[in-house]
Structure 1
Amino acid sequence: MEEAPPVLNPLTTFALIGVAGLACQWLAWRVRLPAILFLLISGITLGPVLGMVQPDELFGDLLFPFISLSVAIILFEGSLTLQLRQLQDIGPVVRNMVSYGALINATLTTVAVHYLVGISWPLAALFGAIMVVTGPTVIVPLLRTVKPNARITNTLRWEGIVIDPLGALFAVLVFEWISAQQGHGSWVEATVIFAETIVVGSLVGAVAGYLFGLLLRHRWLPEYLQNFATLAVVAGVFALAENLRHESGLLTVTVMGIWLANMRDVHTEDILDFKENLTLLLVSSLFIVLAARIDFADVKLLGWGSLGVLAVMQLLSRPIKVFFSSLGSVFTFKEKLLLAWVGPRGIVAAAVTALFALKLEQMGYEEAYLLVPLAFTVIMGTVVIQSMTARPLALALGVAEPDARGYLIMGANPVARAIAVALRSADYRVLLSDTYWDNIASARMQDLPTFYGTLLSDHADKHLDLVGIGGFLGLSHHAERNHLGVMKYRNEFPQQKVLSLASSQDHAPNGKRKISDKHRGQTLFGEDITFSKLASLIAKGAKIKSTTLTDSFHFADWQQHHHNANSIPLFVIDPKGSLFWFTAQAELAPQSQWQLFSLVPSASESKNVSDSTQAVSSDSHLPNKDDASKKHNLPTDDDRRGEKRD
């Protein structure tokens, strides 16, 4: 006799879903694959395979309200990242993809479902309408792994977020048409309902976004209440729109998010950080819960036809949609290929399919129950195929961003320039920022990429190119600026790659002058290595040199040779190309074949430290000043007139 699956109480089940979601996210991070893949596998294992998670019993009548509200929060978080300026190049393509491109996609999918699975035309049309959605629940995690260039990334994000509410509206229109066929209404009524849904969603979303933006702009909410208020307002606005007109809630929260993201003098960074964490929790839970509802018996009833539908959607309808939507655009052929390949389906497709399938069964459509397993076949198929292949395809096509291993540097002073040149010699990208024009001009004379301005400005937020940048170095002679930079970028870059120099205030006996450790990041080179010390050494002729450690010349040997020379080890690079900084928080133990970069005073240059030691010049091969000014488009005195120094 077959053993019954273990029965878990609700508390244990919720805890199991949370632990499984965490394990999937961690595993995805370790193997660099989208977490959705592991979340689906986990949900199927805990649900239909082991029977440990039974969502319908666990949530009861609250299952679909929970799913709907969770999707609304996820959509709102995604729409908060949509800046209208991103549409400058991609606007027409996004518009085409969510309008007639979606109709092309729906039509081809409808035909495939009808002929390959044998479902009636009305139900096939409804399924085709639902399957136009992609959504941030699957697009954003996939983009985090695939890392295509900015144009592709912005296009897929805009399409995924905008198409979700529009796809749901499209499905409502088709459903109302089916109801009219059954004598429950007419085409006129269906059109009126569709129009009302768009009007309600747009108006409520715009008004809610504007009013909440005023609260944030005028600081009428204390900072500690902003995240809670945002969550409460999003839930309330979503519920209000749903009560005014069913299925308008997703459009409402999307419009609200886009309005807030583009409203002048409204800062949503802290809210976005909170929403990102909440979205991670919701996405992890939702995928496990929905995957646990799959019934393999229904999947078997679909036969090979379901795989045929998947093939049509992946290889035919999506590419044709992208081809026609991008005609005459700035996209290259290779960029179009990746756009045509990436289009996974996610939470919204699963939730909306389940909702309409239930309604259609109540209307007498017996085959409606097949829509849910068919939807999950498409979801699992697109997620698995694209998770495994999108990153290699992006690399093969040459449309992927370079690995984010470069450094954004606060300061373009002599210390910052010397370290930047050393990093560049090791094939690491650098970007120097400074408000002193003389420093910027000197950096450009050395052919170093620069940003003239402060990293703390709105202009930097909008225009700073961080492609290939994965860390921050605070090398300004202003300690407070370094710490402010750390505070700004500590959530954007990994903790071990956000570093700044020590300052004299760090040793102040009065605790009121000492910067809190949580605002400092990693301390570069050591507690006693300040900007003043480095600048003094460089002014006296110190150079950054690279030394390759060997089996006969260890790091301890290097330390012994330079014990009395005031040489400062800066960073090391292992044979795999990974860079490690010397910091006050951790001791490094460089091994053989590691390359050590250090600042060596001029007095020690004549010493024979190692045959493998060579200087990393920060000023060699500099062009003539006039030629460099022309090459780097340096401004004239008239251009600089009126510029202010900090």
Structure 2
Amino acid sequence: MDALHHIDVRLLGYALLVLAGVASSLLARRFGAPLLLVFLVIGMLLGVDGIGGIRFSDTRLTFLIGSVALCVILFDGGLRTRADAVRGSVTPSIVLATVGVLITAALTAVASHYLLDLNLLQSLLLGTVVASTDAAAVFFLIRAGGLHLEKRTGSTLELESGANDPMAIFLTTAITVWIAGTEAQTYLGLLWSIVLAIGAGVVLGYLGGRVIVWALNRYDLPAGLHPWLAIASALTLFALTNLVGGSGYLAVYIAGVLVANRPVRARSDVMSVQDAATWFAQLVMFLLLGLLATPHDLLKILWPALGISAFLMLVARPVAVFACLMPFKYRLGEIGFIAWVGLRGAVGIFLASIPLLAKLPNAWMYFNVAFVVVLTSLVVQGWTLPRAAHFFGIAVPRKDPDTRRVQLDLPGQLEYELLGYRVAPGCRALNPVHWPLNVRLLMVVRDGKIQSAEESGGVQVQDYAYLLAPSASAQRLDWMFVGNESTDAQGSRFGELVLPGDVELGTLAEFYDLHVPARFRKFTAANLFAERFDDMPQIGDHLGIGPATLTVRATKDDRVSEVGLRLLSLGERLISGANA
């Protein structure tokens, strides 16, 4: 009975931890705090120096759980990467995720050598541990803050954050093995190992992604099992790729990208469960890493670690980003924001557990320095991310649509889904002109009664409309059902001057004496909105060009067909500070 009582107590403790994680995520969203920081703090409070007093030092278990958690997180990152959204950013992102990691690691190694008196390999190991950004932390903060970034900037961050982890993980493992002396290693051998890991990761990731797509579409499983088939397949791919010497992390990310861009059965179910699995993986991983930390040991290396953190944020990362993105003609504002948003997260602390697992000399010092670097990054960079986006002119002035969507997969085919929306006052869906040609109204629920599309005569305010639409159209259709009661296309906020969407910005600049950067002068207004708003401009979207504001008045086939131009007063110019 005592054993059963002990089990019940432990189960109660685990359940309370999950509930604490749910509550902390709500608080993090409310106050803009980085979720990773909250979970780490909870873990530290439960640890040896906290109120929990738990003595936890099992690095092998931490590494195992961390590996599984990172596999789930990177697979989720791949599932959210749409090829049409990142096209044009692939090459610079890959350069930043590979060459950028090497530059960041090398520069940070220099600071580590002088601040901690480490030799060359030890310094390089520490630099590599903290070199990669954390995809989960970056995009949680962006979503939590309601930020919308310029298309190229957002896609570059998305790809880099997902692709740089495998590079950093492999380098950390290789240098750890080299220092430990468990395998004979040369510079050429290390280079070959990197090539093999990347090559095998890419090939097996592509093949594994194709197999996952085939399995999801081939087997008619009971409801709710498709998401678990996807996750279990990703974990299998991860383990198999590691066994043959490839990068399992790179493989699962590529597999996720492939699944995201192919028609698959039960996509909405897969994404829903993946959201929950990723959140839980972060929770468990961050709590364990917090438990593993010993705050009184952190104080012993606090000042050198803070120096390394400051050097990483203010020198190493900016230099690496500038060197990697300038050849691709990124603007200084884009480079500045990408440099500042290089948050360090759980990946850095997880990598620091690899030297612990190998029992290297100074292994706990690597872990403690990485922990301080991550905490500093989350506090300084995490809380300033929204301000940085506006300061560098990267934030796009738009709020998320307030629509609630019902989404159902249709068995027997993969191209279309059934989508349901409430018809809000003033939404664009009330006008049949705005309906895409590949979207069909199936039925309407009006006053509690079901009517076919023919019987309803079209949608009306307060209806519930159910549509047949392509799987990739849901995000665009969200904007059609946004309530906009106050929108008046003739109102002053839409501009005093009405212009066609294909008007060239260079022509506007000359006629109205506006400042338009040289790279935008050949753009039409429609092209500018398409670039800044990720190819989904909506009525009411606006952008500043010098002392004027362009506002979308009408769209056709997802492109801006009409804009309004409004010249700002001196006071408005000082407040907005907007530039194209």
Q: Who is 2:446 aligned against?
A: 503
- CA shift, 1:121, in A, is 1.9
- Using the TM superposition, name which of 379-388 and 78-87 deviates more: 78-87
Q: Which residue identity does 1:334 align to in structure 2?
A: G
Q: Which residue of the other structure, out of 372, 379, 397, is the alignment partner of 1:384?
A: 379
1:176-195: CA deviation from partner (whole Å, max 9, x where unpaired): 44345x87444454444434
Aligned equivalents of 2:383, 2:485: Cα separation in 1: 38
Q: Who is 1:235 aligned against?
A: 235
SS in 1 for 2:56: helix
Aligned equivalents of 2:18, 2:449: Cα separation in 1: 43
Aligned equivalents of 2:336, 2:371: Cα separation in 1: 25
The 1:114/1:375 distance shift into structure 2, 3 A limit, reads same
Q: Who is 2:436 aligned against?
A: 452
1:603-646: CA deviation from partner (whole Å, max 9, x where unpaired): xxxxxxxxxxxxx9778999xxx9989997989xxxxxxxxxxx
Aligned equivalents of 1:374, 1:206: Cα separation in 2: 36
- CA shift, 1:390, in A, is 1.2
The 1:354/1:433 distance shift into structure 2, 3 A limit, reads same
- CA shift, 1:597, in A, is 6.8
Q: Who is 2:295 aligned against?
A: 296
Aligned equivalents of 1:344, 1:274: Cα separation in 2: 26
Q: Who is 1:107 aligned against?
A: 106
The 1:402/1:20 distance shift into structure 2, 3 A limit, reads same
Q: Who is 1:209 aligned against?
A: 209
The 1:60/1:375 distance shift into structure 2, 3 A limit, reads closer
Aligned equivalents of 1:125, 1:323: Cα separation in 2: 21
The 1:112/1:226 distance shift into structure 2, 3 A limit, reads same
Aligned equivalents of 1:340, 1:68: Cα separation in 2: 27
Q: Who is 1:393 aligned against?
A: 388
The 1:145/1:402 distance shift into structure 2, 3 A limit, reads farther
The 1:159/1:297 distance shift into structure 2, 3 A limit, reads same
Q: Who is 1:11 aligned against?
A: 11
The 8 Å contact of residues 126 and 171 in structure 1, kept in 2 or not, is answered as yes
Aligned equivalents of 1:630, 1:139: Cα separation in 2: 35
- CA shift, 1:14, in A, is 1.7
The 8 Å contact of residues 81 and 260 in structure 2, kept in 1 or not, is answered as yes
The 8 Å contact of residues 338 and 393 in structure 1, kept in 2 or not, is answered as yes
The 1:215/1:25 distance shift into structure 2, 3 A limit, reads same
Q: Which residue identity does 1:253 align to in structure 2?
A: V
The 8 Å contact of residues 74 and 162 in structure 2, kept in 1 or not, is answered as yes
Aligned equivalents of 1:128, 1:620: Cα separation in 2: 56
Q: Who is 2:129 aligned against?
A: 130
The 8 Å contact of residues 172 and 194 in structure 1, kept in 2 or not, is answered as no
Q: Who is 2:36 aligned against?
A: 36
1:53-109: CA deviation from partner (whole Å, max 9, x where unpaired): 63737x785332122111111111111111233333322321221122222111111
SS in 1 for 2:396: coil
- CA shift, 1:257, in A, is 1.2
The 1:18/1:634 distance shift into structure 2, 3 A limit, reads closer
Q: Which residue identity does 1:214 align to in structure 2?
A: W
Q: Who is 1:74 aligned against?
A: 73
- CA shift, 1:384, in A, is 1.0
Q: Who is 2:244 aligned against?
A: 244
Aligned equivalents of 1:630, 1:306: Cα separation in 2: 54
Q: Who is 1:368 aligned against?
A: 363
The 1:51/1:419 distance shift into structure 2, 3 A limit, reads closer
Q: Which residue identity does 2:171 align to in structure 1?
A: F
Q: How does 1:514-593 map to 2 (within 5 A)?
A: none
The 1:90/1:296 distance shift into structure 2, 3 A limit, reads same
The 8 Å contact of residues 32 and 145 in structure 1, kept in 2 or not, is answered as yes
1:369-394: CA deviation from partner (whole Å, max 9, x where unpaired): 20000010111111111122111222
The 8 Å contact of residues 71 and 347 in structure 1, kept in 2 or not, is answered as no
The 8 Å contact of residues 209 and 259 in structure 2, kept in 1 or not, is answered as yes
The 8 Å contact of residues 433 and 454 in structure 1, kept in 2 or not, is answered as no
1:194 paired to 2:194: yes
The 1:190/1:628 distance shift into structure 2, 3 A limit, reads closer
Q: Which residue identity does 1:374 align to in structure 2?
A: V
Q: Who is 2:564 aligned against?
A: none
Aligned equivalents of 1:128, 1:407: Cα separation in 2: 43
Q: How does 1:403-418 map to 2 (within 5 A)?
A: 403-404=398-399, 406=401
The 1:15/1:268 distance shift into structure 2, 3 A limit, reads same
Q: Who is 1:173 aligned against?
A: 174
The 1:530/1:212 distance shift into structure 2, 3 A limit, reads closer
The 1:524/1:93 distance shift into structure 2, 3 A limit, reads same
Aligned equivalents of 1:633, 1:72: Cα separation in 2: 41
Q: Who is 1:254 aligned against?
A: 253
Q: Which residue identity does 1:285 align to in structure 2?
A: V
Q: Which runs of 5+ in 2 are unaligned?
A: 1-6, 406-421, 454-458, 466-481, 504-553, 558-580
The 8 Å contact of residues 33 and 145 in structure 1, kept in 2 or not, is answered as no
- Using the TM superposition, name which of 285-294 and 101-110 deviates more: 285-294
SS in 2 for 1:164: helix
Q: Which residue identity does 2:11 align to in structure 1?
A: L
The 8 Å contact of residues 37 and 387 in structure 1, kept in 2 or not, is answered as no
The 8 Å contact of residues 345 and 379 in structure 1, kept in 2 or not, is answered as yes
1:558-617: CA deviation from partner (whole Å, max 9, x where unpaired): xxxxxxxxxxxxxxxxxxxxxx98xxxxxxxxxxxxxx979xxxxxxxxxxxxxxxxx97
Q: Who is 2:340 aligned against?
A: 341
The 8 Å contact of residues 164 and 348 in structure 1, kept in 2 or not, is answered as yes
Aligned equivalents of 2:183, 2:464: Cα separation in 1: 80
The 8 Å contact of residues 100 and 321 in structure 2, kept in 1 or not, is answered as yes
The 1:389/1:455 distance shift into structure 2, 3 A limit, reads farther
Q: How does 1:303-342 map to 2 (within 5 A)?
A: 303-329=302-328, 331-342=330-341
Aligned equivalents of 1:187, 1:369: Cα separation in 2: 26
- CA shift, 1:251, in A, is 2.1
Aligned equivalents of 2:372, 2:404: Cα separation in 1: 47
**Aligned residue pairs, count:** 459
Q: Which residue identity does 1:68 align to in structure 2?
A: S
SS in 1 for 2:326: coil
The 1:397/1:243 distance shift into structure 2, 3 A limit, reads closer
- CA shift, 1:196, in A, is 3.6
- CA shift, 1:305, in A, is 1.0
SS in 2 for 1:82: coil
1:248-285: CA deviation from partner (whole Å, max 9, x where unpaired): 32122122212222335677343122101111122122
Q: Structure 2-normalised TM-score? A: 0.69
SS in 1 for 2:159: helix
1:115-144: CA deviation from partner (whole Å, max 9, x where unpaired): 112222211111212222113221221221
The 8 Å contact of residues 349 and 370 in structure 2, kept in 1 or not, is answered as yes
The 8 Å contact of residues 133 and 167 in structure 1, kept in 2 or not, is answered as yes
SS in 2 for 1:327: helix
Q: Who is 1:558 aligned against?
A: none
Aligned equivalents of 1:530, 1:198: Cα separation in 2: 49
Q: Which residue identity does 1:383 align to in structure 2?
A: L
SS in 1 for 2:169: helix
Q: Who is 2:163 aligned against?
A: 162
SS in 2 for 1:398: coil
Aligned alpha-carbon RMSD (Å): 4.0
The 8 Å contact of residues 56 and 63 in structure 1, kept in 2 or not, is answered as no
The 8 Å contact of residues 177 and 187 in structure 1, kept in 2 or not, is answered as no
- Using the TM superposition, name which of 99-108 and 313-322 deviates more: 99-108
Which structure has more RCO (C-alpha within 8 Å, separation ≥ 6)? 2
Q: Structure 1-normalised TM-score? A: 0.63
Aligned equivalents of 1:377, 1:634: Cα separation in 2: 51
- CA shift, 1:407, in A, is 6.1
The 8 Å contact of residues 47 and 56 in structure 2, kept in 1 or not, is answered as no
